[in-house]
Amino acid sequence: MKNQSCFKSFFTVLLLALSVSCALSGCHGPQYKDEEKEELEKQGEALMQTWLDAHLEDSKVLTAQADIYMYPSGPHYLTDFVAGTFTDDGNVRDYLINTKTNAVYLVSDAALLSEVCLDYAFEILGLEKFRDACRVSNPAAAMWLPDRGNSYTGSEKNNQGTWMPGELTLSLEEAAEEAGNETGNDGQLKILESFVRSPEGRDPIEFGAAIQVPEEVDLEKFGMAYWVKQQEKKGIVFQNIYLSDAFENVSTYSGRTSYERYSFRTIEDPDIRIFMKDAYWVEKNGKDGIEVVEGKENDLSDLSFVKTENGYLVTFPDYDHIFDFSIFAEEGSEFLKHEYHSHEDREAYLSPGAKISGDRYFELDLYWKEAGEDGYLLTDENGVRKLFFGGEELIPRD
């Protein structure tokens, strides 16, 4: 009991010391004085009013609020931006102004920007001739505004649209009025296309989308060096882009690019085909340049189907659970004559240092599902493809 009490006292003192140290070192909370914040807001308000006097007669600034960058549970910093509202012909509108460059941003139509950027992306990626064969989902574009050495996108700053340069936004609104308030008219598209295709005179634009492409497109060429080059030359930041075909996919996220390649492999006993990841790599664009931070080729010799008294035991010592695979069978296959029960031992190929939480064994009934030209696919009861990592015994259910 005495030792326990001493330990609690020591722990309490330690926490108190850490708290005092954190408070003295300013490791969280505002890293600026109230006077600095007020001065920034006055500067932003004055600059914005000057801009309004030049572009929107009789408009007045209503509010000005310093934009603050907050690290989660950490320090807060003033940025170069001030956000607020102003009057425009009886309406209240939002604005954002960079007090270092005097650049003004107003809220504009994000969908229209995404439409124009999608066309430009197909051109940059060399996919124009495949356009009719591609499927696009979730295209999104926003301005990429610099801030204290970091970057953030306009879509994170206003949920009513995306921040775009003030002069550009007014030109788009004027073009809409000339077309009877029709959004997406030829005049607006011409203005936006000129803006998007002129990287020297604008901030970078972030663009992302999921695009399914035909198999003849070589996706492995879209490495990190490619995306960095496009940002430098075209002023487009391809962030959260996902390109895929039936056997390859490449994606960009958080300064990284990942690539995966799959293929069908034939297994003689049992007479099946497996669809398996062959290779993958991940590249990172850091302070020291582009580097491969992960990468591995698959060794099929590690995979085996061992006959047991009940069925087949799938063995595949992929401790990192990277090279998952699915099972297909063609018409006439002996393996196709049965549906199966999966008895999975989660300890069979446990990652080094990992521990199992919950049950050690998983039990699952599997079913065949028609898969077109690929024959039949082994799935769960909901028709979802079953992914195998090894350590499972497949037992015929009939």
- Considering the domain architecture, whether residues 125 and 65 belong to the same structural domain is answered as no
Domain boundary among the residues 83, 102, 121 is at 102
pLDDT, tens digit (0-9, with 9 covering 90-100), for 343-353: 988 777 776 77
Q: Do 46 and 88 sit in the same domain of this protein?
A: yes
Q: Which of 86, 102, 118 is the last residue of a domain?
A: 102
CA distances for 214 relative to 133, 211, 247, angstroms: 6, 10, 10
98 and 111 both lie in a single domain: no
Residues 272 and 305 in one domain: yes
| Domain termination site, one of 102, 137, 158 | 102
3-state secondary structure of 124: helix
Same-domain pairing of 179 and 90: no
Q: Is residue 323 part of a domain?
A: yes
Q: Are residues 113 and 240 in the same domain?
A: yes
CA pair distance 307, 300, nearest whole angstrom: 18
- Mean pLDDT on 247-259: 95
**166-to-50, 102, 398 alpha-carbon distances in Å:** 13, 11, 70
Q: What's the average model confidence in pLDDT over 151-165?
A: 61
Are residue 191 and residue 131 in the same domain, yes or no?
yes
Residue corresponding to tokens 């497949």: 394
The one-letter code for the residue type at 289 is: G
141 and 178 part of one domain: yes
Do 237 and 132 have their domain in common?
yes
Does residue 7 fall inside a structural domain? no
Quote the domain boundaries for residue 29. 22-102
Residue 333: inside a domain, yes or no? yes
In a domain, 250, yes or no: no
Within a domain: 343: yes
- Please indicate, yes or no, whether residues 48 and 120 belong to a single structural domain of this protein: no
Q: Which residues contact 26 (CB under 8 A, 6 or more apart)?
A: 75
| 218 occurs within a structural domain | yes
pLDDT of residue 339: 95
Q: 321: pLDDT confidence band, cut at 50, 70 and 90?
A: low
Query: What burial class does residue 218 get, using C-beta atoms within 10 Å of its C-beta: 0-12 exposed, 13-18 middle, 19+ buried?
Result: exposed
Phi/psi of residue 231, each to 5°?
-65, -40
For residues 157 and 238, state if they share a domain: yes
Total domain count for the chain? Answer: 3
d(CA 267, CA 263): 13
Q: Do 138 and 228 lie in a common domain?
A: yes
Burial of 265 (0-12, 13-18, 19+ CB in 10 A): middle
16 located within any domain: no
* Assigned domain for 292 exists: no
Strand pairing category for 325-329 and 312-315: unpaired
Say which amino acid occupies 309.
E
> What pLDDT sits at residue 74?
75
Dig out the tokens for 74 from the structure.
């950490």
Residue pair 188/196 in contact by the 8 Å Cβ criterion: no
Mean pLDDT (whole number) for 326-339: 95
Say what the pTM is. 0.80
Of 27-36, 199-208, 263-272, 364-373, minimum mean pLDDT range: 27-36
